[in-house]
């Protein structure tokens, strides 16, 4: 499909204003798989980054809901609904794209549909690889390292708002 419109860049996602007030906390939902040793280690590091910021109330599913593969339907349902409730009540999400975990990507879509600001984390992206177009356009920021994430979070806190910094690198 083609278009005559020369402006092919959509408007970035505009989050509801998130203003940090000293002493106030903001709920962050950390969407991430932890099903490989590398993913589990990376998730621990991400959890620690948020734990170090007193203004963050972290909702990390690995800490809240663990649903074994053989769990009864009731446990599966409770885990599913609980995660959805945490996403719906979050001020913003950090979505870790390591290993392209399908559940994590689904959570990003659910959050986007509910107008939640999304920060993507892709330190696991192989060098030279491209970031996904749909994720790039649905997020307010794509962080490619722990340092990049920490810098972004600290700048946002200091300014009292989330910055919209559209991804401007190669996409797939």
Q: What is the pLDDT of residues 78-124, one digit of tens each?
A: 999 999 999 999 999 999 999 889 999 999 999 999 999 999 999 96
Q: What is the pLDDT of residues 2-57, one digit of tens each?
A: 233 344 333 444 444 454 445 588 999 999 999 899 999 999 999 999 999 999 99
**How far apart, in whole angstroms, are the C-alpha atoms of residue 101 and residue 161?**
29
Spatial contact of 116 and 139, defined as CB atoms under 8 Å apart: no
For 108, list phi and psi in degrees, rounded to 5. -65, -45
- Mean pLDDT over 147-170 rounds to 94
Coil, strand, or helix at residue 121?
strand
**How would CATH label the architecture of 26-159?**
3-Layer(aba) Sandwich (3.40)
Quote the pTM value.
0.85
Where do runs of H (alpha helix) occur along 29-171? 37-51, 61-64, 73-89, 102-113, 133-138, 146-159
Q: What is the pLDDT of residues 51-75, one digit of tens each?
A: 999 999 999 998 988 788 899 999 9
């Amino acid at each position: 499909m083609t278009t005559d419109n020369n402006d092919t860049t959509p408007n970035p996602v505009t989050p509801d204003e998130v203003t940090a007030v000293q002493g106030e906390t903001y709920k962050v939902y950390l969407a991430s798989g932890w099903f490989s040793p590398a993913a589990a280690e990376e998730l621990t590091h991400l959890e620690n980054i948020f734990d170090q910021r007193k203004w963050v109330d972290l909702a990390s599913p690995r800490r809240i809901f663990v649903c074994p593969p053989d769990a009864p339907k009731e446990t599966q349902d409770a885990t599913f609904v609980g995660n959805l409730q945490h996403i719906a009540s979050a001020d913003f999400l950090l979505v870790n794209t390591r290993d392209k975990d399908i559940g994590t990507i689904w959570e990003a879509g659910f959050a986007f549909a509910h107008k939640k600001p999304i920060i993507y984390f892709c330190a696991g992206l192989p060098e030279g690889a491209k970031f996904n177009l749909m994720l790039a356009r649905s997020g307010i920021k794509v962080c490619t390292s722990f340092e990049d994430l920490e810098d972004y979070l600290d700048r946002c806190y200091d300014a009292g708002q989330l910055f919209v910094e559209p991804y401007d690198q190669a996409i797939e």
